[in-house]
Structure 1
């Protein structure tokens, strides 16, 4: 999350949860019973701050309704109950990154993710994207892969494939990692990966100058997910990195079943 983050709590239990979240996200600031409440929340929202609101969903909706603009410009908003049992991406789920952020927070808290924008009856395809320096050791790549799974709460069994850019088609560490995890290893050219540019969490001019895309790990994960379902992908985990490697996770849902027209009549 590259935006300023505000955690807003209204109860003592909520404050304890907010403090716990701040340990996970040291850049976040905690606001306990800010006054005047609606004005404070609206000001933070309009200036682009990402919000974690530990309160009733109704309070969040009524407070933010007067300042909502569009999903393309509004910052992400999550709503959590005071016990941290549920995480709801309330606003800007896809475009603003609230869905991805909610995955990360839910995994950290071991909470239930309440995703209303996805199709829960469809099983998503999860794909890993990785980039690395030449001759990066398999052990470092494996440790980063494990960290990515831990941060998202995913298992190895849920991962469909490991992917990278085509200049890494012969990268032995990545090949060995894919073989060790019994996953397909896919590589793609800059033209294909470039089509994912609008979905990247960050863009590196340096990486673009070296390999021709603004981010290898995220682009490869996103493109691979789209290829497996034919549907729009999204990042589940923004790029994480070590000194020598990067890793990201994307997902895509397959198209839902097409119902016959007569099944929609008189329902």
Structure 2
């Protein structure tokens, strides 16, 4: 079971955001008696998310710690949701991978302190457009997307779209300009990302066979590029944005 423990009203609001992503999680605000609640949950193997200072967590859990092979994963977040720290059982218990997922959902920074962090973010760009879309529409939208997430073109692994755009001249030109691979996928391949889409367009589905080109292509390419065998899913870090002639989305996976 996942237990989210918050010690401030702001932390509780952040915990509620996490509950949207993990509806099965139990959220508690200042559970009492605090030490007994936390230690019991830890000893029964519950996965714990603390939204408070790391010192409080360590002092409370110290009496019940066993070893990295038996202890459940523990994450610590600041109440602003800017940082996610896998505190215990990083590698063996899965806290690093879980922390990466939480950071991805919140748009937060993952702070790993293990000796050899094994998760690196892979950012991918998905785009759709009208036939013969002018380069300025594609490039301006792409740069806007990157700016919204504080990324630069050098952070991007690849540009991706649906296979019917494999010969789209200015998508090819855009990829060449920024030295990105340009990958395209068929509708069946892109359909595997459907559960992760932020929105679904019946119009797009009826036109090309998928509910969203930009988001699907970004998600699928990040999943493939990261080669993450741990079972996690890619995340949209920027839902589809659009202008008059194109759409764009950003995805991230850790590998």
Match of 1:187 among 171, 178, 184: 184
Mapping of residues 241-252 of structure 1, within 5 Å = 241-252=242-253
Distance of 1:134 and 1:120 partners within structure 2: 43
Aligned residues: 185
Which of the numbers 159, 164, 171 marks the counterpart of 2:161?
164
Q: Which runs of 5 or more residues in structure 2 are unaligned?
A: 1-7, 32-76, 86-96
Displacement after TM superposition at 1:63 (Å)? 2.5
Q: State which of 152, 171, 174 in structure 1 corresponds to 2:171.
A: 174
Q: CA deviation at 1:200?
A: 0.7
Aligned to 1:216: 213
SS of match in other structure, 1:134: coil
Q: Once structures 1 and 2 are overlaid, which stretch shifts more, 175-184 or 228-237?
A: 228-237
Contact 1:87 1:102 in 2 (8 A): no
Aligned pair partner of 1:102 in 106, 114, 127: 106
CA RMSD of aligned residues (A): 4.0
Scaled by the length of structure 1, the TM-score of the pair is: 0.57
The 3 A distance-change label for structure 1 pair 64 and 163 is: farther
| Deviates most, 241-250 or 207-216 | 241-250
Correspondences of 1:1-267 after superposition (within 5 Å): 62-63=28-29, 81=79, 86-87=82-83, 99-100=103-104, 102-103=106-107, 113-114=109-110, 121-231=118-228, 232-254=233-255
Q: Answer whether contact 2:190 2:220 (CA < 8 A) is retained.
A: yes
Unaligned 5+ residue runs, structure 1?
1-9, 11-32, 51-59, 66-78, 107-112, 255-267
Query: What is the CA–CA distance in structure 2 between the aligned matches of 1:234 and 1:171, rounded to whole Å?
Result: 26
